[in-house]
Structure 1
Amino acid sequence: MVLCFGAAATGAFVSKGGWYADLAKPSWNPPSWVFAPVWTTLYGMMAVAAWLVWRRGGWRDQARPLGAFLFQWALNALWTPLFFGMHRTDLALLDIVALWLALAVTVGRFWKVSRTAGALLVPYLAWVGFAAVLNFTIWRLNA
């Protein structure tokens, strides 16, 4: 749980400030209040999914799926500082595309261990796909 919500904590240290408010955004950009409950729910689901895989033998038996999980988690944690901290929508876009790919691998590996664990990550995969399209659109509108 701590690891999953740790990625969310990076946002607390990187202020959105006026920069994000001043960006051109598409008409379908969700209101700001949507992001916190969505990410909170997704991080909780990620934690449960990882626990379901871990309890089937821990690192000894599940190194590949758990390693994939940690890799996608690191990419997730990197996105906020790139986008909001450095204002690098281009690098954030590269990161989120890599995140989506790594997450797709993680879903597949989790699914082989526990269908429930894999299924718990599907909404996260969908949201990251949406966020990638949003990131791309914001990058294009402000390039």
Structure 2
Amino acid sequence: MSRLHSFLTLIFSILIAQSAGLIGSVATRPNIDTWYRTIAKPDFTPPDWVFPVVWPTLFLLMGIAAWLVYRSGARTSGYYSGRTASYENMLLRKAVSPWLALSVYGVHLLFNVLWSFLFFEWQLLGLAFIEVLFLLALIIITARLFYLIRPLAGYLMIPYIFWVSYASVLNGTIWWIN
């Protein structure tokens, strides 16, 4: 892979991740000053300025992690190929296909976008809470798969795991008190 190709795929990978954030913001932004300000929130809710700082940073880290996995190539020797599909084989084997990891990553991005619509646009707090738990599981699986391919890629997902864990508690608490 040439340096130019590598750089362009890095930019593309970051743009894909940031695009998920941008699409999610379509549902989020119009509802911040209206509906979200009026609902009861717990004391541990961060100030509004934190979200537009944290999310782009997390999407940047995700994009870099996905790029590292993509860059690792599609070598087939020793990779999980899907022939004996089970959670144990997929998550505990030492070698995983980058294409499997990137596919799970893509599904996780869809869940990330969906949460913004469930919570902010459609104001379905309970369903958003259930969905964010699935999202968190997908993030953990993605991070594990990324780690098996490129440990640094897995480590880059750790802040995201912590943030979505916190967001899950926040979502559940908001649902409970409203």
Q: Normalised by the shorter chain, which TM-score bucket?
A: over 0.9
Quote the offset at 1:9 in angstroms. 1.0
1:12–1:106: structure 2 CA closer, same or farther, 3 Å change rule? closer
Residue 128 of structure 2: which of 73, 92, 117 is its match?
92
Residue 50, structure 1, aligned to residue 66, structure 2:
yes
**Residue segments in structure 2 that go unaligned for 5+ positions in a row:** 1-13, 77-96
1:10–1:116: structure 2 CA closer, same or farther, 3 Å change rule? same
Q: Report the TM-score when normalising by structure 1.
A: 0.94
Secondary structure of the corresponding residue to residue 62 of structure 2? helix
Residue 70, structure 1, aligned to residue 106, structure 2:
yes
1:58–1:31: structure 2 CA closer, same or farther, 3 Å change rule? farther
Quote the offset at 1:12 in angstroms. 3.5
Q: For 1:64, give the aligned amino acid.
A: L
Question: After the TM superposition, which residues 1-143 of structure 1 pair with which residues of structure 2 at under 5 Å, given as runs?
Answer: 1-14=14-27, 15-16=30-31, 17-57=33-73, 61-142=97-178
1:10–1:59: structure 2 CA closer, same or farther, 3 Å change rule? farther
Percent identity, aligned pairs only?
36
User: Which has the larger share of helix?
Assistant: 1
Tell me how far apart the structure 2 counterparts of residues 120 and 20 of structure 1 sit (CA, whole Å): 30
Q: Report the TM-score when normalising by structure 2.
A: 0.76
1:19–1:58: structure 2 CA closer, same or farther, 3 Å change rule? farther
CA contact 1:59–1:66 (8 Å) conserved in 2: no
Structure index of larger Rg: 2
RMSD: 1.4
When structure 1 is superposed on structure 2, of 34-43 and 52-61 the one drifting more is 52-61
Tell me how far apart the structure 2 counterparts of residues 132 and 86 of structure 1 sit (CA, whole Å): 17
Alignment deviations for residues 72-111 of structure 1 (CA, whole Å, 9 cap, x no partner): 1110011111111001111111111000001111111000
**Residue segments in structure 1 that go unaligned for 5+ positions in a row:** none
Tell me how far apart the structure 2 counterparts of residues 116 and 94 of structure 1 sit (CA, whole Å): 29
Tell me how far apart the structure 1 counterparts of residues 24 and 109 of structure 2 sit (CA, whole Å): 14
CA contact 1:10–1:81 (8 Å) conserved in 2: no
Tell me how far apart the structure 1 counterparts of residues 162 and 25 of structure 2 sit (CA, whole Å): 24
